[in-house]
Amino acid sequence: MNFEPAPRPVRRLPWQLAAWAWLACCLVVAAHQVAFWRGSHFDTDVMALLPQDEQAPEVGIATRQLADQVTRQVVVMIGAPDWAGARKAAGAWQQSLAAAHAPLRASAMAGPDTLRDTLAFYAPYRDRLLTPAQRQRLREADPQSLVRDALAALAQPGGGARLVDWNADPLGLWPQWWLARASDTRARPRDGQLALEDAGEQWIVLLQETTGAAFSMTGDAPISDALAQARVAALAAVPGAKVLAGGVPLFAESAASHAHREVNTIGWGSVAGVLLLVFLAFRSLWPRLLMAVSLLVGVAMALSATAFVFGHVHLLTTVFGASLVGCAEDYGLYYFASRQGAPGEPPLRLISTLLPGLALALLTSVLGYVALGLPPFPGLRQMALFSVVGITGAFMTTVCWFPWIDRGVVRRTRFSAWVVDSFARYPRFGGARGTWLAHGAIAAACAIGIAQLRVNDDLRQLQGSPAALVDAQREIGRLLGLASPSQFFVVRGTSPDDVLARESGLTARLDALVGQGALAGYRALSDWVPDAALQRRQAEWTRRIEDGVIAGVNRTLGESQQRAGFAPEPLTLDKWLASPASRSARALWIGAVPMADDGTAFASVVMLRGVRDLAALPPIARSADGLPGVRWVDQVQSVSALLGRYSHSMGLLLAGGHVAVLLALAWRYGRRAWRAWAPTALATVGTLALLALLGQPLQLFNVLALALLLGIGIDYGIFLLERENADAGSAWLAVVLGAASTWLSFGLLALSSTPALRSFGLTLLFGILIVWFTAPLYRKSS
């Protein structure tokens, strides 16, 4: 045990000011936290973590818009061999759901008035709207045969086919145009329900939307629970019925309750282990309580800062944030272990002695995270900001408050004395030949391991959604013939009409692919509102042809019909958007997009339905070739490509982080710096080698874990180096307690069922263990 040679007086005033200033800071954050938890600022969409294409801002907007549209939607499909069975099962399902009081309500279906209004809105423009097939027919058919068709249609039964008076649509073009619009989905109204038949099975589609926040942070799954109950009720009513449920809220809820459960496991595991360790070491839970305060402050500040800068906090950020515990509590442990080593020392004097080392530990951790946040990767930046603010908050709390709150005398316990004493006996790498041989052997083993390292950029690694949910979602998409949200075209133009005209160029090519069976169809705004030039052309056509047909029918039947009048002006996008008639297709319009050159462009989305298979995608993607302003977006592919690009640069950034940390260490310790750095470097390389040998592919989360390892591991090196002449045993106690508790908590993460969390946990499991046991090996010979 060493004592300071001569007690120097410590100036209290700066420390007092710091404590009060920090309290003010905490109060501001507390106020913000109240607002934060009232609103829901959590995000579960993995896409939100990924960088956006800066060349084409409309792609990002389109992606968000398509995602927003479905964030609240839950789709349930109930199937039975016959319609009566499906209705019975659906009735039981609805009754059970209503009784469960889940935060769900049935989406309003378009009523008769909406349908009538929509028809009335479009009717004046009927002459300007044609399907591609009608265009072809009107171009090719001779006038005589069109007159014959009109007469035959008049003779046939089925008056309701005409949606307007005969003289407003003598060829019956209008219902066909609506039929084409109706093909957006396979579901049709039947007995007041949405229904469809598939392979002899009758399905009822029940559209629901969530009423509460996107998901709860309590870990409950009220929607999934209510749906499971309703499913049981449906199956009880009709044995053999099928119930499918899908939708973003279910995925979000599953992810949230999953993450919650696992964060809880980690949290409780960590708490139990650490409580035991702290109790053994300090024979008091007081230090633990103070460390909890510092953590709480850190996490609250991190949440507030992240919400302030990014507008929302991603769920994965909070999971990563839970892992900050390991880093943040090191400061508190170091403080209390040192207090024990110098029981007579006033806390204020002690903290001023420890401050340089603590600050350096903070600085190196911050450097590691900043390196991680350098690439324009919103997810990584968010995690980097969260971590930097979180550990800074914990650090400031430790430094500013602990000396004032912690007044008692801290005594050595038998356990801490044993740990402290063990340090002197711990082996050390000297310059002996055996040491170098051992290093050579380790280096060779690492080289072999790392040579086998594989990189995995599969996006699905990030999200561990239950397979049953994924399957149900896929089946619903297939049954309903829904447009894919991950592959689409974005069309950009200088004006709304330009966008529509460019869309027509694209859809003409897509029509050919539909004919070849590459896809079932597409959804495009220009189908609902053609560009002005096309409308004008079609209006002229229909006028010329229908005048002829009406004249012919008049001659044959001795009538004197006159063609009805239509709107003189084309239907514009503005008019359409302002009307409720645009409801079903409005989401395809992106609107004005600010461009890099300060100009404004307009953009829309063209979605695909029923793409035959993956092999059909390349020819579909090529439809955009040579069309100005048309861009193909394949999120699955581009995200994988992106992750591939970044995992390479993230490796470099991690290396850069190590260099930056080493420089910071050299600035304080000069030539001794390597002693603090070597254990972490060894752990990083060793962990990579171990992962490779275990056949674990390297991905984003391993790199994140290695960044955290850099933050934690260097702390241990610094503590030991900082106190090597004073009270190295106490620093070792801090290292042992910190490493053990971190290891306990992250060891549990390795058990997670989410692939991302598992690889995160496994990486830290190895890394912390290596740092822990190698850190003292590099100490100076006494």
Residues that bind other proteins (CB under 8 A): 83, 111-112, 115-116, 118-119, 148, 151-152, 154-163, 165-167, 175, 178-179, 181-183, 186-192, 195-197, 557-561
For the CB of residue 651, give the shortest distance to other proteins in the complex, in Å.
51
Residues in the chain: 782
Sheet strands (E) in 507-584: 521-523
Place of tokens 């610094």: 718
Task: Enumerate the β-bridge partners of residue 78.
Answer: 204, 243
Q: Do the beta carbons of residue 301 and residue 276 sit within 8 Å?
A: no
Contact between residue 543 and residue 130 where contact means Cβ atoms under 8 Å apart: no
Question: What secondary structure does DSSP assign to 600-628, as a single string?
Answer: EEEEEEEEEE----GGGHHHHHHTTTT-T
Which CB sits closer to other proteins, 158 or 568?
A: 158
**Distance separating alpha carbons of residues 774 and 771, to the nearest angstrom:** 5
Ordered DSSP codes for 123-192: GGGGGG---HHHHHHHHHS-HHHHHHHHHHHHHSS-GGG-SS-GGG-TT-HHHHHHHHHHTT-S-EEETT
Query: 166 or 541: whose CB is closer to other proteins?
Result: 166
Reduced to 3 states (helix: H, G, I; strand: E, B; else coil), residue 39 is coil
Instruction: Kindly provide the residue ranges of all beta strands, DSSP E only, lying in 186-316, ordered along the sequence.
Output: 188-190, 193-198, 201-210, 242-246, 313-314
Q: How far is the CB of 156 from other proteins (least distance, A)?
A: 5
Of 112 and 434, the one with the shorter C-beta distance to other proteins is 112
Cβ 140 to other proteins, closest distance in Å? 14
Of residues 169 and 722, the one with the C-beta less far from other proteins: 169
Q: Please state the separation of Cα 242 from the chain's center in Å.
A: 30
Least distance (Å) from other proteins to the CB of residue 205? 11
166 or 286: CB nearest other proteins: 166
**How many contiguous H segments (helices) and E segments (strands) does the chain have?**
27, 13
Q: Give exposure, 681-716, as e/b (b: 16+ Cβ within 10 Å).
A: bbbbbbbbbbbbeeebbbbbbbbbbbbbbbbbbbbb
**Phi/psi of residue 606, each to 5°?**
-115, 120
Taking the C-alpha atoms of residue 312 and residue 232, their distance in angstroms, rounded to an integer, is 37
Q: Taking a C-beta distance cutoff of 8 angstroms, is the pair 576, 567 a contact?
A: no
Residue 379 burial (CB count, 10 A): 23
CB nearer other proteins, residue 84 or residue 355:
84
Minimum distance from residue 77 beta carbon to other proteins (Å)? 14
Tell me the β-bridge partners of 76: 206, 245
CB of 31 to other proteins, least distance (A): 52
Cβ-based nearer residue to other proteins, 83 or 286: 83
Task: Tell me whether residue 151 or residue 455 sits nearer to other proteins (CB atom).
Answer: 151
CB of 491 to other proteins, least distance (A): 25
- Give the nearest distance from C-beta 196 to other proteins in angstroms: 5
SS3 569: coil
Q: Would you say 160 or 568 has its CB closer to other proteins?
A: 160
Residue 521 Cβ, how far from other proteins at the closest point, in Å? 9
For residue 181, the minimal CB distance to other proteins (Å) is 7
Contact between 383 and 306 under an 8 Å Cβ cutoff? The reply is no
Nearer to other proteins among residue 109 and residue 447 (C-beta): 109
Q: Which is nearer to other proteins, 1 or 512 (CB)?
A: 512
Residue closer to other proteins, measured from CB, 181 or 460: 181
Distance CA 759, CA 616 (A): 34
**717 vs 778: CA distance, rounded Å:** 9
Q: Are 739 and 768 in contact (CB under 8 A)?
A: yes
Kindly tell me which of 42 and 174 has the beta carbon lying closer to other proteins. 174
99's tokens: 């009784």
- Distance of closest approach, residue 616 Cβ to other proteins, in angstroms: 18
Q: In angstroms, give the least distance from the CB of 519 to other proteins.
A: 14
Supply the minimum distance, in Å, between the C-beta of residue 144 and other proteins.
13
> Which residue type, as a one-letter code, is found at position 141?
A
Q: How far is the CB of 524 from other proteins (least distance, A)?
A: 17
The Cα 359–Cα 290 span in angstroms is 19
Count of CB atoms situated within 10 Å of the CB of 109: 11
- Do 704 and 338 form a contact (C-beta atoms < 8 A)? no
26: nearest Cα among 290, 297, 295, 398: 297
Least separation, in Å, of the C-beta of 180 and other proteins? 9
At 72 the three-state DSSP class reads coil
Q: Residue 300 is which amino acid?
A: A
Task: Decide whether 106 or 161 has the Cβ nearer to other proteins.
Answer: 161
Whether the CB-CB separation of 310 and 39 falls below 8 Å is answered with no
Q: Which residue number, 151 or 374, has a Cβ lying nearer to other proteins?
A: 151
The set of residues, in sequence order, having a beta carbon less than 8 Å from that of 371 and lying 6+ positions away, is: 653, 654, 656, 657, 660, 707
Nearer to other proteins among residue 191 and residue 597 (C-beta): 191
DSSP type of residue 558 = T
Three-state DSSP at 695 gives coil
CB of 158 to other proteins, least distance (A): 4
